[in-house]
Amino acid sequence: MRVSTSCATAPGPVLAVESSCDETACAILAPEGTILAQRVISQDGHADFGGVVPEIAARAHLSLLPGLVKATLNDANLPPAGLGLVAASTGPGLIGGLIVGSGFAKGLALALNRPFVAVNHVEAHALTARLPGLVEGGAPFPYLLLLVSGGHCQCIAVEGIGRYRKLGGTIDDAAGEAFDKVAKMLGLGWPGGPALEQLAREGSPDAIALPRPLIRRPGCDFSFSGLKTAIAQKLAPYGHTPLPRSFAADLAASFQQAVADVVADRINHALDMMPAARLLVAAGGVAANTVLRARLEETARSRGCRFAAPPLRLCTDNAVMVGWAALETWEEAARRGQTPFTDIAMRPRPRWPLEDMASRFTPAHNQPAAGALS
């Protein structure tokens, strides 16, 4: 299995679009993975609702994408005709945003007569660590991925391009969802994860006793609903009166520590289930949390594994990861003798399990649309 992350078989730079939730993003990568340009716009208009409103997100993508793509091409000093591939997140995610982003990218691909690569958003997170130069020593297969974000919390065995096994996942809230809900209880607004982490720096992680759901249980599933309920019970005596700053800080720090303890325990179990893994990769927005990162690094070290997490700008949703996943997909198709490869007929999928990815490399899947790739 290769250690090199070269994708030299791609026919030229890839332009990638990410629109699966509330980040509108575009990036252009050279065939070997060098980032030529990238832009991300974090949408306004959701904070007043305490979460992402799908209709608002889709309309924002529709408004922002044309100008964003043009600006990204200008940043890369590249005309559209200089592109070799076009890619977009095509699932999982909010269906309105996926339709807008993938539809825009497909239209561009057809206009330029270029292949289109549909990217699984979760797979893009899974492969980010393989970007050239991102992880010292590279990220050869197999490795264990912990994906922690507002919509996902799962342990995935990454065994190759298109080869993934879900070892465990959340049975209720995702970790990022729990962070946002607890932040809202503390009056910190939305998105709450970064604000909660900042408040927690003022408090003590041992100040308030909180449960550790599923800790030491077999397997590596997660549960954060009970922890969220415990926070609500701690806040109940205060009613609608303002919280003392010191109490709020202690509660934030104690909650953050409880999440880190639970995740570390689940990762230990996941590593037991994947003894061949010598690398633990954390990805997703919650992977930006410094306390969680430190705990994961300590856990990996205790198990004789390396630990890697993308830089903060690549933890949250971005188009660089989409472009890299497209390049990896193209190279895998080439290795199997299936290029030119196109996903032009694939529809957006709000649910797209990683276990389905292997089917993309079957001859029946790779059917260009009429007039494309001629």
Whole-prediction pTM? 0.91
Q: Are 222 and 214 within 8 A, CB to CB?
A: yes
What pLDDT score was predicted for residue 224? Answer: 94
Residues contributing to the annotated binding site for substrate: 147-151, 180, 193, 197, 289
Residues contributing to the annotated binding site: 121, 125, 147-151, 180, 193, 197, 289, 317
Instruction: Indicate the average pLDDT of the chain.
Output: 91
What pLDDT score was predicted for residue 365? Answer: 57
Closest CA to 175 of 208, 213, 203: 213
Q: What is the pLDDT of residues 148-206, one digit of tens each?
A: 987 789 999 999 999 999 999 999 988 988 999 999 999 997 778 899 999 999 999 99
Give the pLDDT mean for 35-63. 86
Is residue 368 predicted with pLDDT exceeding 70? Answer: no
CATH topology of domain 138-309: Nucleotidyltransferase; domain 5 (3.30.420)
Q: Are 175 and 241 within 8 A, CB to CB?
A: no
Q: Tell me whether the CATH fold assigned to 14-127+315-361 matches the one assigned to 138-309.
A: yes
Q: What is the pLDDT of residues 311-320, one digit of tens each?
A: 888 988 899 9
* Spatial separation of the C-alpha atoms in residues 12 and 30, rounded to whole Å: 7
Q: Are 344 and 368 within 8 A, CB to CB?
A: yes
Domain limits, the chain: 14-127+315-361, 138-309
* Spatial separation of the C-alpha atoms in residues 7 and 368, rounded to whole Å: 22
Give the pLDDT mean for 252-272. 97
* Spatial separation of the C-alpha atoms in residues 373 and 360, rounded to whole Å: 18
Q: What is the pLDDT of residues 131-146, one digit of tens each?
A: 999 999 999 999 999 9
How sure is the predictor about 61, in pLDDT bands with cuts at 50, 70 and 90?
A: very high
Give the pLDDT mean for 11-25. 95
Q: Looking at domain 14-127+315-361, which of 2.40.160.20, 3.40.630.10, 3.30.420.40, 3.40.50.720 is its CATH number?
A: 3.30.420.40
Q: What is the pLDDT of residues 327-340, one digit of tens each?
A: 999 999 999 988 88
What pLDDT score was predicted for residue 8? Answer: 43
Residues contributing to the annotated binding site for Fe cation: 121, 125, 317
Helical H segments across the chain, by residue range: 54-75, 95-112, 121-127, 175-185, 193-200, 225-235, 245-273, 290-302, 312-315, 319-335
